[in-house]
Chain A
Amino acid sequence: MNRVVITGIGIYSCLGKNLEAVKDSLFQGRSGIVLDPERKAFGYRSGLTGMVDRPELKGLLDRRARLMMPEQAEYAYMSTREALAMAKMDQDYLDSREVGLLFGNDSSAKPVVEATDIIREKKDTMLVGSGSVFQTMNSTVNMNLATIFRIKGVNFSVSAACASGSHAIGLGYMFIRSGMQDAVICGGAQEINLYAMGNFDAIAAFSVRESDPARASRPFDRDRDGLVPSGGAATVILESLESAQRRGATILGEVLGYGFSSNGAHISNPSVEGPTRSLEMALRDANLQPKDIGYINAHATSTPAGDASEAKAIYSVFGECNTPVSSTKGMTGHECWMAGASEIVYSMIMMQNGFMAPNINFENPDDDSAKLNIVTNTLNKNFNIFLSNSFGFGGTNSSLIVRKWE
């Protein structure tokens, strides 16, 4: 079995458009949430969202490449550029190896809506143009990045709701561990446009604390009233230890464990047993005890039911260890398909820089969160191993464990 290490990370999120900016936001506990008036005008119950600008790709990519990309692929291109540069994997390297690409993505709403609008109005499918089909498909991030970076290894998208990005990294880890790939570019991407989130708004999933956007996302807080949608992209370069050492790459961390489970129950209501099994499986896979984990980056979206069940699951496994826990979603909102990847990147940034980002807006615990050691202010503390949870609709759970490379 190969050991699997991380040699590059990249991020493009509402906390910043690169690692340095995101590090500052995490350290300062700065929120990326805004009130978007367009959502209110469009009919949203909640106009809150994480916000990030579209990147300027003219000059970086040719017209044909740009035409094929929906916004989440643009974000993914930016985070992947950053991660590849950090890993020192240039185009010559990608051209000469079978590097893989696994990205988490579970929707591409805007191109679908816009194409349908054109067809309805013009009564002519051809007028949607040549790029639309490649923007609409769920695998759009993979097909775009694989073309741009001329990828030759494994290439498919992982759709697992809000656990998509985490499972993409978990699968990349398994491909490398088994020896089937030397390196896999993993990540998650999430569109932010207002078409993407209307049906989530419909089921009253979102916080309506619109008077104070930065305080609306309140993971584990007694007074939380729902999640805040967000998006962007995050990339993690996984590589076998042998490959990384052979090419003299700087190793940032090692993926030690991947756990997963299905709740096998309600489509939206979470369970305690499902996440608990995912946590325990990740620990078993990593051959670690709960006391070995220095920090937990919780899924904790700021919905009462989700946070409560996760708090119970974490307490059942880590209760005796009093492990520090925070959810970065207080700052980022819920980055959905991307969150499993971005939260690995956020946790890597914290681990490399010796701090734990605060779970902002945690003011009053409830019965479940009171039992956890929740980090409420930035904690200057080194840690060597973290665990990151992601749980999605349909009952899909994923937990990853990463160790600092020293």
Chain B
Amino acid sequence: MEIKEIIQKTNAFLAEEFEVSPESITPEADLKATLELDSLDYIDLVVAIENNFGFKVKPEDFQGIVTFQDFYDYVIERVKQKELV
């Protein structure tokens, strides 16, 4: 999967799942603040990633993620690992 495609897909499900405007999602924006994530929402983020990319995530994986760019990097890395397998 191309990086551009991964980012587009990620933006689409984040906007849909968390009901925020697509314009508010930019690489440098704060993920938690923009999506208004509370502790329960991280569970739904796990579900959304599984449903969209088919790999398993743990909530602790999000600990180092601050911006959307961090999140894209994480998803891209995991998609690549999956494709290598």
Q: Which residues of A contact B (CB under 8 A)?
A: 62-64, 67, 122, 124, 126-131
Contact = CB atoms under 8 A, between A and B. Distances in A.
B19 A130 contact: no
B46 A127 contact: yes
A126 B43 contact: yes
B44 A130 contact: yes
A129 B19 contact: no
A12 B40 CA distance: 30
Interface string B13-25: 0000011000000
A129 B47 contact: yes
Contacts, number: 26
Interface in B24-62: 38, 40-41, 43-44, 46-47, 50, 56, 59
B56 A124 contact: yes
Contacts of B56: 124
A127 B45 CA distance: 10
Interface residues of B, number: 12
Contacts of B44: 67, 129-131
Nearest to B45: A130
Contacts of A64: 38, 40-41
A62 B20 CA distance: 11
Contact of B43 (A62, A122, A130): A130
A64 B41 CA distance: 9
B62 to A, nearest CB: 13
B41 A130 contact: yes
A129 B46 CA distance: 8
Contacts of A130: 40-41, 43-44
B26 to A, nearest CB: 21
Nearest to A63: B19
Given A127-B50, A129-B44, 16 more contacts: A62-B19, A63-B18, A63-B19, A64-B38, A67-B44, A122-B50, A124-B50, A126-B43, A126-B47, A127-B47, A128-B47, A129-B43, A129-B47, A130-B40, A130-B43, A130-B44
Contacts of B50: 122, 124, 127
Nearest to B46: A126
Contacts of B59: 126
Nearest to A67: B44
The 8 residue pairs across chains A and B that have the minimum distance between CB atoms: A130-B40, A130-B43, A63-B19, A129-B47, A130-B44, A126-B46, A127-B47, A129-B44
A130 B18 CA distance: 13
A128 B47 CA distance: 8
A226 to B, nearest CB: 40
Nearest to B17: A63
Nearest to B57: A126
18 contacts: A62-B19, A63-B18, A63-B19, A64-B38, A64-B40, A64-B41, A67-B44, A122-B50, A124-B50, A124-B56, A126-B43, A127-B50, A129-B43, A129-B44, A129-B47, A130-B41, A130-B43, A131-B44
A358 to B, nearest CB: 46
A131 B47 CA distance: 12
A130 to B, nearest CB: 4
A62 B40 CA distance: 15
Contacts of B46: 126-127
Nearest to B40: A130
Contacts of A67: 44
Contacts of A122: 50
Nearest to A118: B47
Contacts of B19: 62-63
B15 to A, nearest CB: 12
A64 B35 CA distance: 12
B17 to A, nearest CB: 8
Nearest to B43: A130
Contacts of B18: 63
Interface centre among B43, B50, B59, by most A CB within 10 Å? B43
Nearest to B18: A63
Nearest to A62: B19
A122 B47 CA distance: 11
